């Protein structure tokens, strides 16, 4: 005898349901931010990633804490490039400014 299935015929993939849930609670932007922070090494390279002490996004501002004043100066001169790389990586506007500590 076959067991009765409680599955509905109009089921959706779990990924789609999770995306809808994040959008409903306004967490989709935060998930993009987390993806960007995890991809920092890939975006900026090993040398910069190794010198990065802390990295966070607050109100569309990327705050970077570095342990090298030389790299901090170099990156400060290329803020526009960082903003473009981060937003391109995220495929949407995640940040609008960069601050250094």
> pLDDT, tens digit, for every residue of 7-50?
665 677 888 888 888 888 878 778 888 998 999 999 999 999 99
Domain containing 59 equals 27-100
- Tell me, yes or no, whether 47 lies in a domain: yes
In-domain check, residue 76: yes
Q: What is the DSSP letter of 39?
A: T
Residue 22: inside a domain = no
In the chain, the number of structural domains is 1
The structure's pTM equals 0.76
CA atoms in the 13 A half-sphere facing the CB of 19: 6
Q: Residue 85 domain-assigned?
A: yes
* Interior/surface letters 60-75, b for 16+ CB within 10 angstroms, e for the rest: eebebebeeeebeeeb
pLDDT digits (tens, 9 = 90+) for 55-66: 999 999 999 999
Q: Where are the alpha helices (DSSP H) in the chain?
A: 14-24, 28-38, 40-44, 46-51, 69-77, 79-90
* Residues 80-101 pLDDT 10s: 999 999 999 999 999 999 999 8
Contact 96, 61 (CB under 8 A): yes
So what's the pLDDT on residue 22? 81
């Amino acid at each position: 005898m076959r067991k009765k299935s409680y599955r509905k015929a109009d089921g959706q993939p779990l990924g789609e349901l999770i995306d809808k849930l994040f959008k409903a609670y306004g967490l989709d932007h935060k998930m993009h931010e987390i993806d960007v922070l995890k991809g920092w090494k890939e975006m900026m390279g090993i040398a910069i990633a190794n010198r990065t002490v802390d990295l966070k996004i607050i109100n569309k501002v990327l705050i970077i804490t570095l342990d090298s004043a030389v790299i901090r100066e170099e990156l400060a001169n290329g803020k526009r490039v960082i903003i473009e790389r981060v937003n391109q990586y995220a495929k949407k506007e995640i940040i609008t400014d960069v601050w250094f500590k």
